[in-house]
Structures are given as structure tokens and as C-alpha cells.
């Protein structure tokens, strides 16, 4: 049985002061309540220690939005997996469309980072997804398959339980436009079937596939009720403690 993962991506929002207020608010909302699924927040690096501290006695987990594929050394501006682990971070978002688009991250480079994260016993959230022109041209499955294949060719199936995929159609990120529940389910099923063909059905069944793209309280129920949708990667709505908590309650 796959545990639902509700993950917030704060992107380049919420510096230390704001992040602490937001994280404290989330903890306050859930004080004394249990959450049977998994909740994760990925703040900017500089805010991570503050969020970790706010979450210390709660079930909320923390993750990063990127990481280096190198161990340590002369890589100015980079952050390593061991640094994140020291902060008790367990997840890393990788291959987000904004990193692919604005920072020229390629599938090969992303694959190196995914391997590094898995080898260091952390969990990557590998983002894949097509642009609007790809969907209009009916190329969406090919695009997603190619993005996944580069990574799956290098990852051993023994990592299935730690390997998380986020299907994020680029046209739905930060636009207010969401994939319909059927579009999401179709792609998630396609992704799982493809993983099964590369690994096997048993391991593909263990991989969690999140949906990302303007998920909010108003559409979360329909999206999360799809059989192959195992959670959400949430941008905008994760910056509001009430909205994020509402999505958690729906999950
Ligand atoms: C994201 O950035 O991963 C995302 C899904 O953003 P939003 O929810 O704002 O569309």
C-alpha cells in the first residue's frame, strides 16, 4: 500500500523569518491531531534550519529543492546531500521544470543527482512533464517517457520505495490551470506501466507518483482520488498554511 505524500515546494519564497512563521502555523493547525499520510515541506536552503526546528516535534518532514551530485569540495554555490542529511532532510525535488527551463538542467545531469540522492539513502522527487505544445501535438507521453527513461536506465529497482516521481504538466504549473483528473490518471497510469516495463510490475507498484500543477483545496479531492495519483507536489497553495492543511485533510 503506497502512502500518500503531500509535498510543498516553496520555490524562492519565504526567507528564514517568513518560513518560521509559516511552519509554526502549520504545526499549530495540526497540534494534537494525527496525520496518517506523509506531509513534506521543501523551503529554500537558507530557511531549512528554521523550518526543521519548527517541525522538530511534529510529523512534518523537510526536503530541499535541489542538491549537488558531488560529495563535497570546490563547487561554489552548491549544497551536498550530507549537508541536507545533517539537517535531517529526507527528500530532494529534482528536475523541476523551472530548473530544466531556466538553469538548463538536462536529463543526464538530473539522473546523476537522482542516483546521488538514492545512494545516500534520501528520496528524490523526480519531476517530469510536458509543455503545452507537446500536449497539443499529442507528444506528451513520449516526452515524459524520454525524461523518465534516462533516469530509470541508471537506477536499480531495489530503490523503488524511495523513488518518487512527480508528474507536472508545465502548462499547469503556477497558471491556475489544472490537468483534469482523467488526464492526470491517464499519465500516471502510463508512467507506472512504463516503470513496470523497465523494472517489473511489483516494483512499479511501490513507486509513488505525485501530481503537480495548480493543486489546491478545490481540486485536490478529485485528483487525489485517482488510483495512480499518490499525492501532490504543491507550489502556490503550500505557501498558505490553511490551504496546505486543507489538502492534507483531503488526502
Ligand atoms: C510546482 O512548482 O511544483 C507547482 C506544482 O506549482 P503550483 O502548485 O503553484 O502550480
From the CB of 168, is ligand 1 less than 6 Å away?
A: yes
Element holding 9 (H helix, E strand): strand 5-9
Catalytic residue among 38, 96, 130, 159: 96
From the CB of 235, is ligand 1 less than 6 Å away?
A: yes
Helix axes 140-152, 107-119, angle to 10 degrees: 50
Q: What span, in angstroms and rounded, lies between the C-alpha atoms of 148 and 151?
A: 5
Give the position of cell 497539443: 136
Give, for ligand 1, the residue of 173, 209, 210 to mutate: max count of ligand atoms closer than 8 Å to Cβ: 173
From the CB of 210, is ligand 1 less than 6 Å away?
A: no
Sequence-distant (6+) residues with CB within 8 A of 41 are 7, 8, 10, 23, 26, 51, 55, 60, 61, 62, 63, 238
169 CB burial (10 A radius; 0-12, 13-18, 19+): buried
Q: Active-site residue 140, yes or no?
A: no
Say what the pLDDT of residue 1 is: 80
Lookup: cell for 63: 526536503
Q: Which of 214, 201, 164 is nearest to 38 (CA)?
A: 164
Q: What span, in angstroms and rounded, lies between the C-alpha atoms of 225 and 65?
A: 26
From the CB of 95, is ligand 1 less than 6 Å away?
A: no
Q: What are phi and psi for residue 234, nearest 5 degrees?
A: -120, 125
- What domains, with CATH codes, occur in the chain? 5-250 (3.20.20.70)
Going from the Cα of 173 to the center of ligand 1, the distance in angstroms, rounded, reads 5
From the CB of 173, is ligand 1 less than 6 Å away?
A: yes
Would you say 225 is a known binding-site residue? no
Going from the Cα of 1 to the center of ligand 1, the distance in angstroms, rounded, reads 26
- 54-57 contacts at long range (C-beta below 8 A, 24 or more positions apart): 54/20, 54/23, 54/24, 54/27, 55/23, 55/27, 57/27
Q: What are phi and psi for residue 137, nearest 5 degrees?
A: -85, 5
pTM above 0.90, yes or no: yes
From the CB of 234, is ligand 1 less than 6 Å away?
A: yes
Going from the Cα of 116 to the center of ligand 1, the distance in angstroms, rounded, reads 24
Give, for ligand 1, the residue of 10, 42, 65, 213 to mutate: max count of ligand atoms closer than 8 Å to Cβ: 213
Question: Whose alpha carbon is nearest atom 6 of ligand 1?
Answer: 235
Per-residue pLDDT tens digits of the chain, which is 251 residues long: 899 999 999 999 999 999 999 999 999 999 999 999 999 999 999 999 999 999 999 999 999 999 999 999 999 999 999 999 999 999 999 999 999 999 999 999 999 999 999 999 999 999 999 999 999 999 999 999 999 999 999 999 999 999 999 999 999 998 888 889 999 999 999 999 999 999 999 999 999 999 999 999 999 999 999 999 999 999 999 999 999 999 999 99
Q: Which of 6, 64, 54 is nearest to 26 (CA)?
A: 54
Question: Whose alpha carbon is nearest atom 1 of ligand 1?
Answer: 235
Amino acid at each position: 500500500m503506497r502512502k500518500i505524500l503531500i509535498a510543498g515546494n516553496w520555490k524562492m519564497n519565504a526567507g528564514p523569518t517568513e518560513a518560521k512563521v509559516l511552519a509554526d502555523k502549520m504545526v499549530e493547525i495540526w497540534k494534537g491531531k494525527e496525520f496518517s499520510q506523509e506531509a513534506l515541506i521543501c523551503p529554500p536552503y537558507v530557511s531549512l534550519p528554521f523550518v526543521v526546528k519548527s517541525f522538530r516535534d511534529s510529523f512534518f518532514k523537510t526536503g530541499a529543492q535541489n542538491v549537488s551530485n558531488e560529495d563535497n569540495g570546490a563547487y561554489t554555490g552548491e549544497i551536498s546531500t550530507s549537508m541536507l542529511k545533517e539537517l535531517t532532510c529526507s527528500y530532494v525535488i529534482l528536475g523541476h521544470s523551472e530548473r530544466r527551463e531556466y538553469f538548463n538542467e538536462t536529463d543526464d545531469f538530473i539522473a546523476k543527482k537522482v542516483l546521488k540522492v538514492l545512494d545516500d539513502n534520501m528520496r528524490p522527487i523526480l519531476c517530469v512533464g510536458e509543455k503545452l505544445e507537446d500536449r497539443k501535438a499529442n507528444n506528451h507521453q513520449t516526452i515524459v517517457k524520454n525524461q523518465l527513461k534516462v533516469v530509470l536506465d541508471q537506477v536499480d529497482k531495489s530503490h523503488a520505495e524511495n523513488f518518487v516521481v512527480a508528474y507536472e504538466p508545465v502548462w499547469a504549473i503556477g497558471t491556475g490551470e489544472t490537468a483534469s483528473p482523467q488526464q492526470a490518471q491517464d499519465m500516471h497510469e502510463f508512467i507506472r506501466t512504463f516503470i513496470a516495463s523497465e523494472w517489473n510490475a511489483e516494483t512499479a507498484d511501490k513507486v509513488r507518483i505525485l501530481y503537480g500543477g495548480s493543486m489546491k483545496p478545490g481540486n485536490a479531492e478529485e485528483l487525489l482520488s485517482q488510483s495512480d495519483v499518490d499525492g501532490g507536489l504543491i507550489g502556490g497553495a503550500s505557501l498558505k498554511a490553511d490551504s496546505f492543511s486543507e489538502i492534507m485533510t483531503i488526502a
